[in-house]
Amino acid sequence: MRRFRSIVLLIILTGATSPIFPQSPAHGIKNVFWQPNELQQGSVAFITVELDRVPRRVRGKWIGKDLAFFKSDNPKIWHALAGADLETQPGTYDLTVTAAMVGGRVVHSVKKVDIGAANFRSGALDVPENFVEPDAASKKQIEADGVLKNRTFSHFIAAPQWSGDFVTPVKAKPTDSCGMTRVFNEELSSTHRGTDFPVNEGAPVVVSNSGTVVLAKELFYEGNCVIVDHGQRLFTIYMHLSKIEVKVRDKLGKGERLGLSGQTGRVTGPHLHMGVRWNGAYLDPTKLLALTLPNLGPEKRRAATRARPASAIGRGEGVHPKTRLKLLKAASS
């Protein structure tokens, strides 16, 4: 009774027409949790939000990045794939979730998430000197590549295009090379933003999950490179290919072949480099491959194809992507 009175008093005092406890997680958001439990630099996190009623929209913020949630088959359960950059400072970060409810009410939840230090290796590599001290022509090329990559990563598909677990792109075990500090020719130090798979030249390389090709081109450092957009700012990157077998705008199904492994670009020998980029952060591909993820129905992938078209990516060839892919496959078999 006393509580009731104080609530009434509060309403009178504030002249409140707004909700009484808009900040309370009990009003809307029931639970926020993530897989895996323990996160480190480079980790990929699959975040789940449970609500006690159906929201219109769920959004979030974590380590300075916006999170886009998508609805599961149960409209009270929403998910997001996110990650901590390889170079995130270890520490505790707020994970803020905001749900817009029907009727305009907005509810928040804040959780503390620990990011531990990963145990990255370091090592020395020798490559042709032009990859360390590029000449004027190469510098021009590197600059043009940078512009193209920025445009590529600004490509946006609102709905996830992936479904289920991400698969290994080649038939080889990954090395523990991700996050490694590498010194090239004893002069240039850089962080290895991906995982190398030891394969000989000519091994088939498949796309790790369904998505749309947003770059298929030879670049200075990356060599023949393919970048695939899986929706909601998640990209996988495949480098140093001897042959590219897909084109920009091709829609690939999980496990579909995109090219052959090789040793183009800045390499010391043949291998596949796989990278994972989410919302500008570079994540550890082995951590993405280790996640158990739900199957998303064709409905979600259709939604993905209706998303905002790329203003950023290259011109279409006037042939439907599927047709083009079939032609390519026929030509390469």
Ramachandran region of residue 136, left (φ > 0), alpha (ψ -120 to 50) or beta? alpha
Minimum CB distance to Zn ion, residue 223 (Å): 11
Token representation of residue 215 = 């770059």
- Of the candidate spans 73-81, 86-94, 191-199, 242-250, the one that interacts with Zn ion by CB under 5 A turns out to be 191-199
Task: Give the residue with the Cβ less far from Zn ion, 63 or 289.
Answer: 289
Distance CA 275, CA 257 (A): 17
What 3-state DSSP class applies to 65?
Answer: strand
Place of tokens 């919302």: 279
Q: How far is the CB of 195 from Zn ion (least distance, A)?
A: 7
- Helix, strand, coil percentages, rounded to 5, for the chain: 20, 35, 45
Q: What are the φ/ψ torsions at residue 146 (nearest 5 degrees)?
A: -60, -45
Q: Which is nearer to Zn ion, 196 or 284 (CB)?
A: 196
Assigned token pair, 253: 């199904």
For residue 298, which phi and psi values (nearest 5 degrees)?
-60, -25
- Report the Cα 303 to chain-centroid distance in Å: 18
Min dist. Cβ of residue 67 to Zn ion (A): 28
Q: Which is nearer to Zn ion, 233 or 273 (CB)?
A: 273
Instruction: Single out the residue of 236, 227, 238 nearest to residue 264, CA to CA.
Output: 238
Give whichever of 63 and 239 is closer to Zn ion, judged by the CB atom: 239
Rule CB under 5 A: say whether 230 interacts with Zn ion. Answer: no
x/- string (CB under 5 A) for Zn ion, residues 262-291? -----------x------------------
Provide the minimum distance between the beta carbon of 242 and Zn ion in the complex, in angstroms, as a whole number: 15
* 196 near Zn ion (CB under 5 A): yes
Residues in contact with 39: Cβ distance below 8 Å, sequence separation at least 6, in sequence order: 45, 84, 113, 114, 115, 116
In whole angstroms, how close is the CB of 325 to Zn ion at the nearest point? 27
Supply the minimum distance, in Å, between the C-beta of residue 177 and Zn ion. 6
Tell me the closest approach of the beta carbon of residue 168 to Zn ion, in angstroms.
15
Closer CB to Zn ion, 82 or 86, in the complex: 86
CB of 28 or CB of 179, closer to Zn ion? 179
Closest C-alpha among 132, 154, 92 to residue 280? 154
Strands 251-252 and 223-229: unpaired
Bridge partners (DSSP) listed for residue 259: 205, 244
Applying CB under 5 A, which part among 25-33, 160-168, 192-200, 296-304 lies near Zn ion? 192-200
Cβ pair 187, 127 in contact under 8 A: no
- Considering the complex, state which of residue 196 and residue 250 has its C-beta at the smaller distance from Zn ion: 196
The residue number with the shortest CB distance to Zn ion is 273
Q: In this structure, are residues 225 and 238 in contact, taking their beta carbons and an 8 Å threshold? A: yes
CB of 294 to Zn ion, least distance (A): 30
**Toward Zn ion, which CB reaches closer, 42 or 60?**
42
Q: Extract the runs of DSSP E, i.e. beta strands, from 36-146.
A: 39-40, 44-51, 55-62, 65-68, 70-71, 77-83, 91-101, 106-116, 122-125
How many chain residues touch Zn ion (CB under 5 A)? 2
In the complex, least distance from residue 237 CB atom to Zn ion, rounded to whole angstroms:
10
The three-class DSSP label of residue 139 is helix
List C-alpha distances in Å: 220 to 225, 274, 300.
10, 16, 36
Nearer to Zn ion, 113 or 239 (CB): 239
Given the rule CB under 5 A, which residues bind Zn ion?
A: 196, 273
